[in-house]
Amino acid sequence: MTIARPLRALIVLAIFLWCFFVYQLLKPSPEFHGPGDRYVNFERDPNLDPTGEPEGILARASEKYAPDQRDSDRIDATLLALVRNEEVDDMVQSMIDLERTWNSKFNYPWTFFNDVPFTEEFKRKTSAVTNAKCHYELIPDEHWQKPSWIDDQTFETSAKMLESKGVQYASKLSYHQMCRWNSGLFYKHPALKNTRYYWRVEPNVHFFCDIDYDVFRYMHDNNKTYGFTINLYDDPKTLPTLWPETVKFLADHPEHLHENNAMGWLTDDTHRPENNIGAQGYSTCHFWSNFEIADMEFWRGKAYEDYFAHLDRAGGFFYERWGDAPVHSIALGLFEDSSKIHWFRDIGYQHIPFFNCPNSPKCSGCVTGRLTDGEAWLHRDDCRPVWFKHAGMG
């Protein structure tokens, strides 16, 4: 006996309506758009404070975060900036870029350092452009002032000689202080005592690419020590005795030299032989440290601490113009396994006048593959091919 066609239609309709009803009961809330996204809707829940940071919830409408990035799961890391009060607008611009492309997804804290107290204006403007916690720290005088063994007269005489050779910032004491602090003192600040990783961010830099993964977790899980985007040649006139002092240090401490070092990158004399000659054996290749993502356990280790102490006593941070970039780079190239140094090729970045601009649909606002928008001769400053030749991709 067959069921009449109208009755079959009613049964099908009833089944459809029942399935639709079950679906409505079980489907996700409209605030949830999949396992990786959560949206906070302040109109639906007026008890959420859009100016605060309720536990684990990004305190602004339409901000999202990955489910494994709640406070309890976050890597012990911070975004770090050495910045002056008068640079606040340039710092805010950098923050807006990095928050848009990355940190709004992971909500890592910002830590700002200054040798004078931060103004209320600085605090107000910077905290307004992030949902993350902001820490404002004062650098201790003993970390910032010239050490006792630096002679003022020698410094002034040396600065004039460097200026006569065209070395920028040679007479600017604060620049020398900054290079020394960034080289060997920032990671000793009490505010970073319980922090392992940092991402250095400077005022007036740009970020071009959406980064959808936690770079700190990547560093941690893949046992990486240091990450860079741009690799350049330095001016030999700023550091004529840095390599000879390094050679002296290695003679006294051969135990610190890593078997998988990047000595070939540091001593290359084929691509820019004039640099090697001017720097007395050093290629001057270095990671451009205005961008660096690093594990501070390396700086805190015995090899680097011994090396920095040697350089600090030699006086080149003041009598010459040793920068934190070549100091960090030489130490990494000698004392670390080169496979632990990573090129973040997917992070689009600009610090005038140089770019890292990946060929990726996630990037916009820069020209793919362009190193610089400055003078044509600046293209000769790219040392990445030398790094790839001697150390690989990391």
Neighbours of 294 (CB within 10 A): 26
Residue at 370: amino acid letter: R
What tokens does 310 get?
Answer: 């040697």
Whether 292 is a known active-site residue: answer yes
Helix ranges (DSSP H) in 113-193 = 120-127, 141-144, 152-164, 173-184
> Which of helix, strand or coil describes residue 151?
coil
Separation of alpha carbons 372 and 205, rounded Å:
14
Separation of alpha carbons 340 and 224, rounded Å:
4
Neighbours of 127 (CB within 10 A): 16
What tokens does 306 get?
Answer: 């011994």
Q: 353: cis peptide before it, omega within 30°? A: yes
Query: Considering only CA atoms, which of 264, 389, 391 is closest in space to residue 339?
Result: 391
C-beta separation of 228 from 288 below 8 A? yes
CA 289 to chain centre: 8
Residue at 70: amino acid letter: R
Query: Considering only CA atoms, which of 348, 20, 75, 120 is closest in space to residue 222?
Result: 75
List the catalytic residue out of 292, 297, 320, 375.
Answer: 292
Residues annotated as catalytic are: 292
